[in-house]
């Protein structure tokens, strides 16, 4: 059985690298995506946030949050989504898709629970198709 995880990350982020290592050591196969160039629409991005409070959608280490330019506590959902879409560095990372569930942030216990529910079977490969078993001509 394959544990497949779509993992949206900030490239070269040390925390994301550790999280990916944990997932791989747990037997997961990762499909890595650049969060800063995610290509998600607002509705899809919103689905990752689930029932989290709006302030928990934001990366507390993002410069605009740390220096007080943006106060996520004072935003409604639409304002927050506009900010996240316009500046993806603000998004709490990683975003993950496991099975049919979307997660924001790396809560190890929650990730483990979701992985236990969504272990997908390895796709079947038909090696009898033309070319799969052909011998090279020497």
Task: For residue 13, indicate whether it is catalytic.
Answer: yes
Instruction: Give CB contacts under 8 A, 24+ apart, made by 99-106.
Output: 102/47, 102/48, 102/50, 103/48, 103/50, 104/48, 104/49, 104/50, 104/52, 104/56, 104/57, 105/52, 105/56, 106/15, 106/19
At residue 103's C-alpha, the angle toward residues 114 and 76, to 5°, is 145
Active-site residue identified among 13, 28, 127, 132: 13
Sign of CA dihedral 117, 42, 24, 108: negative
Catalytic machinery residues: 13
């Amino acid at each position: 059985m394959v544990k497949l995880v779509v993992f949206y990350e900030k490239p070269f982020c040390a925390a994301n690298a550790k999280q990916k290592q944990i997932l791989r050591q747990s037997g997961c196969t990762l499909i890595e995506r650049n969060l800063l160039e995610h290509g998600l629409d607002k509705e899809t991005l919103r689905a990752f946030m689930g029932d989290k409070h709006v302030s928990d959608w934001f990366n507390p280490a993002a410069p605009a949050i740390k220096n007080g330019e943006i106060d996520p506590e004072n935003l409604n959902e639409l304002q927050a989504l506009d900010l996240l879409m316009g500046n993806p560095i603000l998004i709490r990372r990683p975003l993950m898709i496991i099975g049919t569930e979307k997660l924001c942030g790396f809560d190890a216990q929650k990730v483990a629970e979701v992985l236990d529910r969504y272990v997908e079977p390895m796709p079947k490969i038909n090696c009898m198709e033309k070319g799969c078993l052909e011998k090279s001509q020497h």
